[in-house]
Amino acid sequence: MPTPPKRGMRVHTRLMESHSYAMETTFSRSDARSVLRAKAWAAVRAQTQSLSSACTCVEDLPRIAIQAAQLAETALASIAPRAIENPQAIGWQVPDCKAGCHYCCYEQVNVTPVEVFALVAHIRSHWSEGRLQSLRKKLGTAAAKSRGLDHESYFAARIRCPLLNAEGHCSVYAVRPLMCRAYNSLDVKACERAARNASKSARERGVRTNGSIHGIMDGAFGGLKEALKKSGRQDFLPNLTVALHQSLEDPGLQERWLAGQKAFRQ
């Protein structure tokens, strides 16, 4: 099983293979946070790896993504109470994120298929037909702009997430993907600078993050990805916008994915 980042290192991490923010965090050899995070990371990765047995029918698919998110939030909660009691003792750093702040919502988001299916189920259950049709148009436009772009080019293109509402709030926040849950920043001004300098390299735009939040969500994502791969199904999608657009436009996509076909084209 992969191991979390070693203590005693300064690392520039990226969400999965090539996240376009340079997510920087510091690990100290004497930092109790690192020990707690490593234990939580290992636990949530092992738990999400066991979810492959739940892939039995289309109706089950959204529940797998929701369960993975719940496991990740529970793992994070195992650290957070200690941070609240004595944040300095475990080096806890409070994110500067607030409702309506959406600088990170111009990122290319990596997802698993079941996370896309959870979004589809939520949207079809809670949105009006008119609102759904509007979203499909926005997704189509964004997908066309983003197809073929890597993470750096995607961020530089300033493609706004179609799931943001007019106030800049996430319209699917309750079922947002794990990598969206992982995004955080210790300084909103750094996010503002990154947005103004979108064409610069990720390292030049470096945004520091709470590594516990990022690490645990990334651990859950990796475990879920491995669970799907173990089941013999397509497990990783590099572009949420393209994947969600395809899933909403193709009624038979989920059945084909469940049958082990390469249903998504990315």
Tokens of residue 77, six digits: 């909660």
Tally: H helices and E strands in the chain:
11, 3
Q: Is 237 helix (H, G, I), strand (E, B) or coil?
A: strand
Q: What is the pTM of this model?
A: 0.84
Reported as a pLDDT band with limits 50, 70 and 90, residue 11 is very low
pLDDT: is 159 or 3 the higher one? Answer: 159
Q: Which residue has the tokens 């497990």?
A: 235
Residue 198 pLDDT greater than 70, yes or no:
yes
pLDDT score recorded for residue 63: 92
Q: Distance between alpha carbon 224 and the CA centroid of its chain, in Å? A: 12
pLDDT score recorded for residue 88: 53
Distance (Å, whole) CA 244 – CA 250: 10
CB-based contacts of 172: which residues, under 8 Å, 6+ apart? 119, 122, 123, 163
Of 203, 248, 219, the residue nearest 20 (C-alpha): 203
**Which regions of the chain does DSSP assign to beta strands (E)?**
10-13, 23-26, 207-208
Distance (Å, whole) CA 23 – CA 208: 5
Distance (Å, whole) CA 130 – CA 189: 37
DSSP secondary structure letter of residue 101: -
Q: Could you give phi then psi for residue 210, rounded to 5 degrees?
A: -75, 110
pLDDT score recorded for residue 5: 41
Domain boundaries, the chain: 10-258
Residue 179 pLDDT greater than 90, yes or no:
yes
Distance (Å, whole) CA 137 – CA 92: 42
Cα separation values, 188 from 45, 69, 134, 193, Å: 29, 25, 30, 9
| Sign of the torsion formed by the C-alpha atoms of 15, 105, 155 and 224 | positive
Reported as a pLDDT band with limits 50, 70 and 90, residue 201 is low
Of 111, 264, 52, 113, the residue nearest 121 (C-alpha): 113
pLDDT in tens, 142-171: 999 998 899 899 999 999 999 999 999 999
pLDDT score recorded for residue 147: 86
Mean pLDDT of 69-82: 82
pLDDT: is 211 or 181 the higher one? Answer: 181
Side-chain half-sphere exposure of 55, counting CA atoms within 13 A:
28
SS3 content of the chain, % helix, strand, coil (to 5): 55, 5, 40
Average model confidence (pLDDT) across the chain = 82
pLDDT in tens, 12-41: 333 333 333 333 333 333 355 566 667 777
Residue 8 pLDDT greater than 60, yes or no:
no
